[in-house]
Every structure is written in structure tokens, then in C-alpha cells.
Amino acid sequence: MSAPDIGTPRLARELDENTFYACLTQRNRGLVAADLQAEIRTTRLLVAGCGSIGGATIQPLGRMGYQHFVLADVGTYELNNLNRQNATVDDLGRNKAEVAAQALRGINPHTDVTVVPDGVTAANAQTLVAQADVIVDGVDVTTAAGLAAKVRLHQEACRQRKPLVTGWDMAGMLAAQVFDYRVVRRIFDGQLLPGDEQRLGTWEVVFRIAPRAYIPGEMFRELRGGLGRPDYSVPQLAEAATQFGSLSVHMVNVLVAGRTLPRTVAVDVHRISRTRGRRLAGDLARQFERARFLAHLPAAQAWNGFAPKAAYRAARHLSTERPHRKRVGERTTA
């Protein structure tokens, strides 16, 4: 039986919740199984970070039929966000999670949404994760505070064994990643070792947890020129950030359905829109720019950020087991 055609706000708001939901999800039928749609309707989502990455997925998730959200973000909109984030000039100065919640209620007035304007903190991480069946991690990593919140979120998701989807937008590339902590036993699948968040610098941690194999050549070139500047702000583009909306919705659906996913799904719209010859030239340029970037970094930073997981773990293991040697002139105390 088809849902009724509804063409005005008044008629839509007069519908009971079940009829509204049937109308909202009518065009999903045939492509989304009825039992999966029922699971979607009751699944609880935590979206941590509602800006570029997290913000790109909130409205698509609501349109898919998800109704239960916790939205956490400490940030407010600035004008420079509008090149890629779901906001307008009228939203400047407003909390990003609150703006996203308003949009969700505009799509589905029956949405159950909680706004957490403090973001992810040491005090609330356990509670936030406990409220979710699936987590979408859109926490910004370009600040030390944001990076600490991201690590904290993954630590808690791993402890509570919750599946998590995250994304990285770099130039024209969006890499969506899945860390299903129901089966993965180390945060970021072991790329980051215990204590690294205190021991390493901010960008060393970023490169350890980012999908390094997918960083585009133009991003290596940009970072080589920018990371040394104290006022540096990483550029982000709409064509990459907004891709997370479609990729993450499908990934969340697959997790809710109980199926498995590859660790990383990457789409580089700059690369795939080139001719074959320019694509090959771009692939070669990427290797060149990567080598230049690594050569530009101090050796220790290059190792800490880019060493393969197995080699990095082995080196850390040896360094912690190596006996302490007394330095020349060092005194012993009783």
C-alpha cells in the first residue's frame, strides 16, 4: 500500500508519526529492505563533530529514516565554514550541533535529537558513547583540543565495543573509514599506541591515524608549505567534505544490517575526473610530492607519523624494553 501524497507543511505536520515515517521513507522501498528500514528507525546514533565531516552526514541520515540522534559539538559557525558546511550567514555564531538539530526537525518533526554543546569531553565521553548503537566521528583534528577529543571518543568506543564511522577530507579526496570496535580491539586498529597522544606532536598523531595511503599529491604539497606557519589553517573543499554524507549513510546502513565493510573507502573526485593520461601523471606526481614532504620533515617526525604500523609497533616495543643506561656524569642515589 502506497503512502499518501502530502504536498503542504500543514498536512505533513498533521500526520501521526507512523504515517509520516511511511511517507518519508516511501522512495527507499525496493532498495532498502523492510526489516532494515525498521532497524534504521530505532537505531541510536551519536554524531560527534557537526562541522565539515559530521555535518555532511546528519541530514542524509535523517532523510534515510534515522530518528534518534545525539549531536555533540563545541564549535560555532564562522564565515570561513560556509564554503563546505551545511550552514548559512544566518547561522553564524550559532552552535553547530544546534543548527544540525534544527535541520533534522525540519526534515522529520518526530526526530528525537539531543544537543551536547560541550562536544566530547573527559567527563561525558562514556555517557555519550553509551547512548549510541553506531557512532559517526566528525571531530576536527586540526587543533590539539579536537585531536584529544577524537582519541578520547575512539578509546571509549573501543572500551564499549561500539562500531564507528569516520572520514578524512583532503583536497578532492574523501576517505571514509570504519572501526568496528565490536571486533577491533585497538583504537585506530593499532596505528596509535597507548600514550602516543601525550608523547607525539599533534601532526605526528594526525598522520598516524589518518589514511596515509590516500593522501593526494596536492595535499602533500600544500602541507609542506604550510605546517611550519603558526597561523596555518588546513584548506578544505566542498567536493570532498560533502561526499561523506553519501558514503557514511551507506556504511552506517551496512553496520546496522550486521554486515562487514572494508576499512577504508576512498573517492578522489579530482583524480577520477581527469583523463587517463593526466591521472597517470597525477599518480606519479603524488609519489614525488610525498617524498618531498617526508624529506622536508625532521627525521623523527617523519618516522613517528609515517612508519608502517608493524615497524612502528616493533620499534616502540624495543624502546620500552631497552634497559636504562646511566648518562655520563649521572649520579646514583641510594
Residue 123: per-residue pLDDT: 97
HSE-CB of 189 using CA atoms within 13 angstroms: 16
In a domain, 4, yes or no: no
CB 246 within 8 A of CB 53: no
pLDDT at position 294, please? 97
Is residue 221, in this structure, part of any structural domain at all? Answer: yes
Taking the whole predicted model, whether its pTM rises above 0.75 is answered as yes
pLDDT attached to residue 228 = 84
CATH of the domain at 299: 3.40.50.720
List of the chain residues with pLDDT < 50: 324-334
For residue 69, the SS3 value is strand
Q: For 169-228, how does the pLDDT look when each residue is reduced to its tens digit (9 = 90+)?
A: 999 999 999 999 999 999 999 999 999 988 999 999 999 999 999 999 999 999 999 988
CA–CA gap between residue 128 and residue 109 (Å, rounded) = 23
Is 210 within the bounds of a domain?
Answer: yes
Cβ-based neighbour number of residue 296 at 10 Å: 15
Q: Would you say residue 69 lies in a domain?
A: yes
Q: Check residue 1 and give its pLDDT.
A: 55
Can you give the pLDDT at residue 332?
A: 36
CB atoms within 10 A of CB 143: 11
52 is in which domain, residue-wise?
32-319
Can you say whether the dihedral through the CA atoms of 7, 8, 11, 16 is positive or negative?
Answer: positive
Of 173, 177, 174, the closest CA to residue 154 belongs to 177
Which region, left, alpha or beta, applies to residue 73 given φ > 0 means left and ψ of -120 to 50 means alpha?
A: beta
Q: Three-state DSSP class for 116?
A: strand
Structural domains of the chain, count: 1
What's residue 325's pLDDT?
43
